[in-house]
């Protein structure tokens, strides 16, 4: 689906279609089945995208962000 957060998560590693357009979904499925080179490219891109979105990487990014914050003075 090309709705909600899926485009951000998928990036260029998948096929995004309007979920209301069954014809476009069918076309995408046919292309994936009929075009092995394109399918292989999507698989490779998907693996790279999944590696970029792992929990370890997210945790390190948050730790870095929180470590860089300056403590706020206590409010009296």
Q: Taking residues 35-61, what's their average pLDDT? A: 92
Give the pLDDT of residue 74: 60
Query: Which two tokens mark 21?
Result: 């357009």
Which residue has better confidence, 69 or 38? Answer: 38
Return the SS3 of 41: helix
- Crossing angle, helix 22-34 and helix 36-52, to 10 degrees? 100
Q: What is the C-alpha radius of gyration for the chain, rounded to an integer number of angstroms?
A: 19
Asked if pLDDT for residue 52 goes beyond 90, the answer is no
- From CA 20, how far away is CA 34, in angstroms rounded? 23
Task: Note the pTM of the prediction, 2 decimals.
Answer: 0.68
Whether 49 and 10 have beta carbons less than 8 Å apart is answered as yes
Q: How far is CA 70 from CA 36, 40, 65, 66, 67, in A?
A: 52, 46, 10, 9, 8
């Amino acid at each position: 689906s090309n709705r909600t957060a899926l485009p951000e998560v998928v990036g260029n590693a998948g096929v995004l279609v309007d979920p209301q357009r069954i014809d476009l979904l069918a076309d995408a499925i046919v292309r994936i089945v009929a075009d092995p080179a394109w399918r292989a490219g999507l698989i490779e891109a998907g693996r790279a995208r999944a590696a970029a979105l792992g929990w370890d990487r997210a945790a390190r990014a948050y730790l870095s962000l929180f470590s860089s914050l300056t403590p706020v003075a206590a409010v009296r």
